[in-house]
Structure 1
């Protein structure tokens, strides 16, 4: 009787404004639907719940979808959760909790389809929830499963949205839903046109869904939104197979099937009116089979002419699932625009990757450019100075847990350590081997092996972490296509700082003046009171110190191991030789050329990076044949050598 009176009151408008505390009354009106919900009929209940405006509704929908709604022995609906052998029940209106036994209580278990419908209704409340995380969750739910019913509440939530990021996301989703589900063609076309500048994966997915097609075949072109008509003559056997699969033409009889049919219809030493002895000829077998088909004993034989005639009598087409031609035309135009933009953005992203790689090569090679260019020393241990710098950063972080401060300390410390190591190496070994390049190469190669083994003995063979500060985590995302990590940006900025610093030292300081003098004419420089021996020592130390700083920067991006220097020594020499020995601008040009060339080859052959490096080396060999002094040739001693 209670449910009957409530239903009469509800239908007669006696409850035009349902007040807080009356959710149970609405549930009782639809008690059967709550207890045994059906996807087809649950909409009426959900509409009444949404229209009520009760603050308890969102919580009820969440609990209902989570299967936490129970029906009490007296018929009321409550929230319940197992509590030992009993239940902890809460009133759906007041939330008042109490304990009860499970006897007489029945759990409501809506199926997956009903839960999806409930989730759609729940989104309407979550879109305007005071909690930004709940609003964000609602938007994620919409993006995962877009439906036409979500468009209206999503539009309504725009006005009250205070978070700029969530507002932008809502506007984007409104465009996506409008493009697919808006009521009028003009609205859909306008929404689709707005997506022509959106290169996100979601936007492209929306356009592709609108342009989804189905294959079809018919005697005449149907009245549908046709995407394209296919020429069956390009592959007649495949398209005839489509006809037979659709039951529009008899299947092709294979030679094996012809043989079997003839064997099964042998009578009196012949089959199909042809003696068995003559059935070795394929054409005669077809003639005999045709006679059996004429007698109705076997399926008809499909000849080439029959196949071509059947194909000519039918039209093969792809039809859009979307029936409105104006919508698909707008989607085609928008997708073409997006595809073009994506291509440009991919080129820009490839350029950023190449620029980042070039900055890494520049950092690794600039120290070698100074020592090799000024002194003519082939230093095979240059990579190990990079490794020493990286390990210096690792050790500093062991004692300074603040990663930002540790990097600030590690950079000058790495320079000091590798500068000292470079000076020591020059004084003990290199100074005795000037103008003996082969012996210098062998000596420095031996030092390289010794330094690697020393690093293994101290730090082990396992890669050590050189952690970047938190503000370098993540990437700068300009679009779904263009993004670059903050570490790569930091390395690029560091490379620019080094370029400016080295140019300042070489052009504006006395040391730079003396280095340039010794580089171009050591004899004249010595007659002017400059000590070439001292300049060589300082130059080698400077180049080694710069390698140490480069090691700290590279260690933030790459693994720190005893062999890490070997990963960069070959590229460093190529950078110096291609750019021009002993020239800062040449090193920059060489790093840029190698970085862009390597990324370009990797883009053409992304599955094989080793092949990309091989092609790059071959290209560089050819380049040196035509320009042996590099991109920026240097005059003086280095050029003569």
Structure 2
């Protein structure tokens, strides 16, 4: 009995020892000790794969320690440990398997393993399978990002295994999407890949197209017969518009199926090698100064058997006739390439439609900006007939007013709320002052008015430079206006642009209310249509003109605050919008709010359309737009919506 007990105890100890060895990481490290110590990217992969596939929980800690350059090898026995710096030049070593400190050693007795960036990248890829199920959400997110940067087929199964137990709903959706993308590129089951492609065919994201495009990449090849073991995309016909005979023969040369053509360099080299007594092929060297002479000499050498003969056209035709030319997919499965091509066609159609939507949103956004900038000019130009070249400077003054307000009110939301009425007040007052001091003395004298307002424009720009300097000043948008409204990877629009669009609608409604529901609006319409008749009815045209000019200037100030949220606030800010403002007013119809809206829409869509057709040259786009508008005015000199009354008779 005692013997049986001792024998059983020995067997148990042996099993425990064997299990302990199986659960130990150190034997795996020792098996690959040489390549780990060498730390070469070319040879390290087997060691990393063995560690990652061991299934041991300590493998993750070991790989993270290695990547952090905290792994040390003890020179005396070649064992690997985690090391932390102690006192002086000593290091405290910790066993990977037990997690226990084994002692402190001098640096001279140890070798630190410092993996380079390439090895750290490979370690990072190996760590992904552990990090996908890590309790730390940040590590799981980092693992997904690592897979997205460097996808591999080996990561597909660990990713799939981590999806079911993922506690975070958002991250679970990310994993499911990434699993579909990896399935498209790396799954060995053709049916699974086709299913994944069909599921993702409605997705417009760039990563989907990046997964599908490699599947339909083709390569031109040539052979004596069309092979049956490749995925043929198309059979090519030499001499066609997309595949010339020259390209076909060059392909044969590249595949070593035919001899190369004799080039001019080959002829020169052969002639230089075969000079005899000042002659080559019986022709004096001095006469070999033309291509025809050199070709004749080379032909003589070829006839003598000294050099290879020219390849004739008949030989080229025979070679082309005896070979087949075709394109093959890099993806071997025809089912996968067919599904990928169909999906890409559907995606391309949807991308085109969404690009049209995106261009439309950009055009509407630009039109709202031009409308805000031009609405004040439409009022003054339409009611008073004044060409105010300083209108852009009122926009600039509004933007600077917003900047000054933000210096005193750091809360960006509150500062913008305060800046809008403040900008209106400042530019309204400046507009009234300008009308009273300058404009009213120049009515019915358009040239003098234009020159005077142009001079005021220059003076206001210089004044702004003297006060604020030449550097651009920031007008910071509130935090809730940062970012963009993203519909998909194709369509997006910034929240600032949306806010400006809403502001333009508000001012459209406000201006319509003023014009239709208030006494000032009634008087403005009366003066616009017939100033003499309005005066005879007791309306003071001078007062109406003053308030109208102030109102138009005030609205320009508010437009300046809105524009300053995304444009650089400088003394030259108005110059960027004065031309478009005048074009908006003239094209839309002078003195008509609906005309200004129509003009802004037309110019906004026209400019974006021209920029889309010629995106590399915005200056050319501006030029084409101005030419189009000049032509348009020739046919509709009063604009889209012509004004009745005084403007109709001017």
TM over 0.5: yes
Paired residue for 1:331, among 328, 340, 351?
340
User: Once the 2 structures are TM-superposed, how far is the Cα of residue 163 of structure 1 from its aligned partner?
Assistant: 3.2
Residues 1:39 and 1:57: Cα distance change in structure 2 (over 3 Å) = closer
Residue number in structure 2 paired with 1:77: 80
Distance 2:15 2:122 in 1: 27
- Residue 62 of structure 1 corresponds to which residue in structure 2? 64
Q: Helix, strand or coil: the match of 2:420?
A: helix
2:159, 2:175 within 8 Å by CA — same for their partners in 1? yes
Matched, 1:181 2:186: yes
SS of residue in 2 equivalent to 1:330: helix
Q: Distance in 2 between matches of 1:603 and 1:196?
A: 26
Q: Does 1:27 align with 2:29?
A: no
- Once the two structures are overlaid, the 10-residue window that deviates more, 97-106 or 517-526, is 97-106
SS at match of 1:452: helix
Contact 2:33/2:78, CA 8 A, preserved across alignment:
no
Give matches, 1:376-391, under 5 Å: 376-391=385-400
User: CA offsets, 1:541-590, max 9 Å, x none?
Assistant: 10000000000010111111111111111110000010011111111110
Q: 1:633 aligns with which of 614, 634, 642?
A: 642
Alpha-carbon separation, structure 2, partners of 1:270 and 1:459? 83
Following the alignment from structure 1 to structure 2, what is the Cα–Cα distance between the partners of residues 330 and 580? 54
How far residue 162 of structure 1 moved from its aligned partner, in angstroms, is 3.6
> What is the distance in 2 between the residues matched to 1:637 and 1:147?
75
Q: 1:275 to 1:175 in 2, by over 3 A?
A: same
Relative to 1, partners in 2 of residues 1:94 and 1:323: Cα closer, same or farther, differing over 3 Å?
A: same
C-alpha separation in 1, matches of 2:384 and 2:477: 35
Mapped partners of 1:404, 1:275: distance in 2 = 90
Inter-partner Cα distance in structure 2 for 1:399 and 1:111: 52
Q: CA deviation at 1:461?
A: 1.3
Shift of 1:409: 0.8
Q: What is the distance in 1 between the residues matched to 2:323 and 2:91? A: 67
Number of the residue aligned with 1:3: none
Question: For residues 224 and 475 of structure 2, what CA distance do their matches in structure 1 show?
Answer: 70
Alpha carbons 2:221, 2:251 under 8 Å: kept: no
Work out whether 1:353 is the aligned partner of 2:362: yes
Q: Distance in 2 between matches of 1:180 and 1:198?
A: 16
Deviations 1:265-318 (A, max 9, x none): 678999769999999998897677556435532112211221222222222322
1:103 alignment partner, SS class: helix
TM alignment of 1:284-303, pairs within 5 A: 289=298, 292-293=301-302, 295-303=304-312
Q: Identify the residue that residue 7 of structure 2 maps to in structure 1.
A: none
Structure 1 SS opposite 2:302: helix
Structure 2 counterpart of 1:540: 549
Is it true that 1:580 corresponds to 2:589 in the alignment? yes
Contact 2:70 2:83 in 1 (8 A): yes
- 3-state SS of 1:232 partner: coil
The 8 Å contact of residues 35 and 71 in structure 1, kept in 2 or not, is answered as no
Task: Indicate yes or no: 2:204 matched with 1:195.
Answer: no
SS at match of 2:46: coil
Q: In the superposition, relative to structure 1, how do residues 86 and 275 fare at CA in structure 2: closer, same or farther (>3 Å)?
A: closer
SS at match of 1:476: strand
Change (3 A) 1:376 1:47: same
Q: Is the 8 A contact 2:35 2:47 kept in 1?
A: no
1:374 aligns with 2:383: yes
1:133-172 deviations in whole A, cap 9, x for unaligned? 2122111100111111111121222223343432232122
**Are positions 1:555 and 2:564 aligned together?**
yes
Contact 2:52/2:127 (8 A) holds in 1: no
- Deviation, 1:129, is 2.2
Structure 2 residue 419 is matched with structure 1 residue 410: yes
Partner of 2:530: 521
In 2, distance between residues paired with 1:292 and 1:251? 18
1-structure distance, mates of 2:565, 2:284: 86
Distance 1:35 1:277 in 2: 67
CA distance in 2 between partners of 1:270 and 1:462 (Å): 76
Q: Distance in 1 between matches of 2:624 and 2:24?
A: 77
Partner of 1:4: none
Aligned partner of 1:227 in structure 2 is: 233
After superposition, the Cα gap between the structure-2 partners of 1:286 and 1:507, relative to the gap in structure 1 and judged at 3 Å, is same
Counterpart of 1:92 in structure 2 is 96
Residues in 1 aligned to 2:69 and 2:268: alpha-carbon distance in whole angstroms: 64
| Cα distance, 1:275–1:511 mapped onto 2, change above 3 Å | closer
Instruction: Note if contact 1:9-1:15 (Cα within 8 Å) is conserved in structure 2.
Output: no
Aligned to 1:137: 142
Partner of 1:322: helix, strand, or coil? coil
Report the secondary structure of 2:429's partner residue: helix
Report 1:453-602 matches (<5 A): 453-602=462-611
Residue 438 of structure 2 is aligned to residue 421 of structure 1: no
SS in 2 for 1:40: helix
Aligned-partner SS, 2:164: coil
- Give the conservation status (yes or no) of the 8 Å contact 1:365–1:573: yes
Which segment drifts farther, 81-90 or 496-505? 81-90
Match of 1:211 in 2: 216
Match of 2:106 in 1: 101
Residues 262/57 of structure 1: CA separation in 2 closer, same or farther (3 Å cut): closer
Task: Give me the whole-angstrom Cα distance separating, in 2, the residues matched to 1:114 and 1:555.
Answer: 49
Q: TM-score, normalised by structure 2?
A: 0.89
Q: Is the 1:461–1:562 Cα contact (8 Å) retained in structure 2?
A: yes
- Larger mean CA deviation between 539-548 and 347-356 belongs to 347-356
Q: Distance in 1 between matches of 2:157 and 2:269?
A: 66
Who is 2:440 aligned against?
Answer: 431
Contact 2:380 2:548 (C-alpha < 8 Å) held by counterparts = yes
Unaligned runs of 5+ in 2: 1-10, 37-43
Give the alignment of 1:240-319 within 5 angstroms. Answer: 240-254=249-263, 257-258=266-267, 261=270, 289=298, 292-293=301-302, 295-319=304-328
Select between 298-307 and 319-328 the one with higher mean Cα deviation: 298-307
SS at the partner of 1:466? coil
| Structure 1 residue 86: Cα displacement | 2.6
Q: Note the alpha carbon deviations across 1:63-98, whole angstroms, 9 max, x for none.
A: 123332223346653212455523243443565666
Deviation at 1:13, TM superposition (A): 9.7
CA contact (8 A) 1:28 1:76 kept: no
Partner of 2:460: 451
Q: 1:498 to 1:303 in 2, by over 3 A?
A: same
Shift of 1:520: 1.7
Aligned-partner Cα distance in 2 for 1:122–1:349: 40
Contact 1:120 1:149 in 2 (8 A): no
Q: 1:526 to 1:285 in 2, by over 3 A?
A: closer
Distance (whole Å) between structure 1 residues aligned to residue 352 and residue 420 of structure 2: 39
- Contact 1:356 1:491 (C-alpha < 8 Å) held by counterparts: yes
